[in-house]
């Protein structure tokens, strides 16, 4: 069997260090926030080239609080993409703002920035570019428009820890960078976690209040806050794992390069890399018309795959909006029908990649014989 991801395998490799870090938190009695979370905030902010990190309990909470800190609320519009995990758009709805969708580029699966200008209105308050699958959005055009119009840029970097755009780490390119440490992400906790990074000291202070009941001082509630605090144990674990993130991302890139070599001449479409991007391959998605048949073919051979994502957000029942009927965002809709995520994790072996690639190639051969 070739799994889609192998979290236990990675854990075994760092088991002793992780257990020692958990023990130290248990011994300290600081179970929520505390010194381990504070150190992790500093280390992760530095990793993303930003001044401040605010640890929270999920990537979704990070997006929610970034929108609140940016002052986004009812009557405002927030531009993002429909081809993302639903949390990106849920956060916009949590603050009472309206999601405005821009389609994706078919090659990179990220926001088609050429369509951004047409989506702007006097109500546009923020833009949330999503660095999907581990690759940065083309940020310069977004930042130029945002600066000109006084619009806030909140990066959804939940899938892109360590990815770079023109040499600079994602998360620190806009006003706020939001990360998730859900176990399967490139940097994953052993539980839930998230962080907002920013260079704005005032925003960081506001975020710290919002995540902890709106209080700077205990029991003095200055604004409506939330219980979105990061746990001490997760902070300690993430510190251990952050030290290995670059090695793991490199292993992911090596695996992706191998897939590319094996698959590039075939009939599936391999991921397209924007030249100045350093991709961290959270997901390695190919495009193929006969997606369901290929998925079944691989499954029968013990190869697990994923689909990220089978339904674009604008076609989800709870997100429907008459402005975005079926067919209105064609590139996102086509991607939802055709993407298939192949097994990729830092510990995957060359032999495993070869087996997957051979099976894909064999499937494609069978398809062309049948046609």
Ligand X SMILES: *Cc1c(COP(=O)(O)O)cnc(C)c1O
The single residue among 30, 88, 234, 336 that binds ligand X, judged by CB under 6 A, is 88
Phi first, then psi: what are they for 129, rounded to 5°?
A: -75, 140
Subset of 117-156 contacting ligand X (CB under 6 A): 130, 156
The yes or no reply on residue 84 touching ligand X (CB under 6 A) is: yes
Report in angstroms how near the CB of residue 175 gets to ligand X at its nearest: 17
Please report, in angstroms and rounded to a whole number, the separation of the first and last CA atoms in the chain.
Answer: 30
Task: Please enumerate in sequence order all residues whose Cβ is within 8 A of that of 297, keeping only pairs 6 or more positions apart, or say none.
Answer: 359, 363
Contact status: 298 vs ligand X (CB under 6 A): no
**Residue 318 burial class via C-beta count within 10 angstroms: exposed 0-12, middle 13-18, buried 19 and up:** exposed
Least distance from ligand X to the Cβ atom of residue 333, Å: 18
Measured from each CB, the residue nearest to ligand X is 59
User: Contact 102/112 with Cβ under 8 angstroms?
Assistant: yes
Q: What are phi and psi of 200, to 5 degrees?
A: -95, 110
Which is closer to ligand X, CB of 182 or CB of 345?
182
| Tokens matching residue 26 | 């248990």
What track of x and - describes contact with ligand X for positions 2 through 41 (by CB under 6 A)? ----------------------------------------
CA pair distance 25, 327, nearest whole angstrom: 52
**C-beta closer to ligand X: residue 180 or 359:** 180
Q: How far lies 174's CA from each of 189, 361, 369, in Å? A: 25, 40, 49
| Residues 155 to 184 in contact with ligand X, rule: CB under 6 A | 156, 158-159, 180, 182
For residue 188, the minimal CB distance to ligand X (Å) is 9
Name the minimum Å distance from CB 57 to ligand X: 8
Cα 130 to Cα 132: distance, rounded to the nearest angstrom? 5
Helix (H, G, I), strand (E, B) or coil at 137: coil
Maximum C-alpha span of the chain: 72
Measured from the CB of residue 23, what is the shortest distance to ligand X in angstroms? 25
Pattern 50-69, binding to ligand X, x per CB under 6 A? --------xxx---------
Site string for ligand X, 315-334 (x = CB under 6 A): --------------------
Q: Which residues bind ligand X (CB under 6 A)?
A: 58-60, 84-85, 87-88, 130, 156, 158-159, 180, 182, 192, 194
């Amino acid at each position: 069997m070739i799994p889609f991801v192998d979290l236990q395998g990675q854990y075994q490799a760092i088991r002793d260090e992780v257990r020692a870090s958990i023990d130290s938190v248990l011994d300290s009695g600081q179970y929520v926030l505390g010194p381990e979370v504070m150190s992790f905030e500093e280390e992760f902010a530095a990793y993303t080239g930003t001044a401040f990190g605010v640890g929270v309990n999920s990537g979704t909470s990070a997006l929610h609080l970034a929108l609140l800190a940016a002052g986004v609320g009812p009557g405002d519009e927030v531009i993002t993409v429909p081809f993302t995990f639903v949390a990106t758009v849920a956060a916009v709805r949590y603050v009472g703002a309206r999601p405005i969708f821009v389609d994706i580029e078919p090659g990179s699966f990220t926001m088609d920035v050429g369509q951004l200008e047409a989506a702007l209105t006097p109500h546009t308050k923020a833009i949330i570019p999503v660095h999907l699958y581990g690759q940065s959005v083309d940020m310069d055009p977004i930042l130029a428009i945002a600066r000109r119009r006084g619009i806030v840029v909140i990066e959804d970097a939940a899938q892109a820890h360590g990815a770079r755009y023109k040499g600079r780490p994602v998360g620190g390119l806009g006003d706020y960078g939001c990360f998730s440490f859900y176990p399967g992400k490139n940097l994953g906790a052993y539980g839930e976690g998230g962080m907002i990074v920013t260079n704005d000291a005032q925003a960081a202070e506001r975020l710290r209040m919002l995540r902890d009941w709106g209080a700077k001082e205990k029991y003095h509630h200055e604004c409506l806050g939330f219980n979105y605090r990061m746990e001490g144990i997760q902070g300690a674990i993430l510190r251990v794992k952050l030290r290995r993130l670059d090695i793991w991302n490199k292993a992911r890139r090596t695996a992706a390069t191998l897939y590319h070599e094996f698959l590039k001449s075939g009939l599936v479409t391999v991921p397209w890399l924007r030249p100045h991007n350093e991709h961290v391959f959270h997901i390695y998605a190919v495009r193929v018309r006969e997606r369901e048949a290929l998925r079944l073919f691989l499954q029968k051979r013990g190869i697990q795959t994923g689909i990220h994502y089978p339904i674009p957000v604008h076609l989800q029942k709870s997100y429907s909006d008459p402005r975005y009927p079926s067919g209105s965002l064609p590139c996102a809709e086509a991607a939802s029908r055709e993407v298939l995520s192949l097994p990729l994790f830092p510990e995957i072996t060359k032999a495993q990649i070869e087996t997957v690639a051979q099976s894909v190639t064999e499937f494609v051969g069978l398809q062309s014989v049948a046609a």
